[in-house]
């Protein structure tokens, strides 16, 4: 996640909408990475690996990066009360 300067200097409604959209994106990413990434890691660690059905060594090497992307997308795709409350509190402070 990157740092974003969230200041109250945004005076126009367009600037405010842009800041709010960026806050929403970061909150969704935070929730995805914090909650969904560990869940995906646990799921991958518990799967029995057979002869078929997995990507071999390449999957083992890059699985954590793929899980991180999945978690980010899951955070954006799922609206939940935690993400909504974080968003409300952060946008109230800005």
φ, ψ (nearest 5 deg) of residue 56? 70, -150
**pTM of the prediction?**
0.66
Question: Tell me: the pLDDT tens digits for 37-75?
Answer: 888 888 877 766 666 666 777 877 888 888 889 888 888
More confident residue, 61 or 26: 26
DSSP states of 45-80: HHSPP-SSSS-HHHHHHHHHHHHHHHHHHHHHH---
Q: Which residues contact 22 (CB under 8 A, 6 or more apart)?
A: 4, 6
Alpha-carbon distance of 74 to 25, in angstroms, equals 12
Q: Where are the domains of the chain?
A: 13-39+56-93
């Amino acid at each position: 996640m990157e740092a974003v300067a969230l200041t109250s200097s945004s005076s126009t409604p367009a600037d405010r909408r842009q800041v709010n959209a960026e806050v929403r994106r970061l909150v969704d990413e935070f929730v995805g990475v914090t909650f969904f990434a560990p869940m995906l890691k646990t799921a991958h660690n518990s799967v029995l690996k057979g002869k078929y059905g997995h990507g071999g060594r390449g999957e083992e090497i890059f699985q954590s990066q793929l899980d991180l992307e999945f978690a980010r997308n899951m955070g954006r795709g799922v609206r939940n009360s935690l993400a909504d409350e974080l968003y409300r509190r952060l946008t109230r402070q800005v």
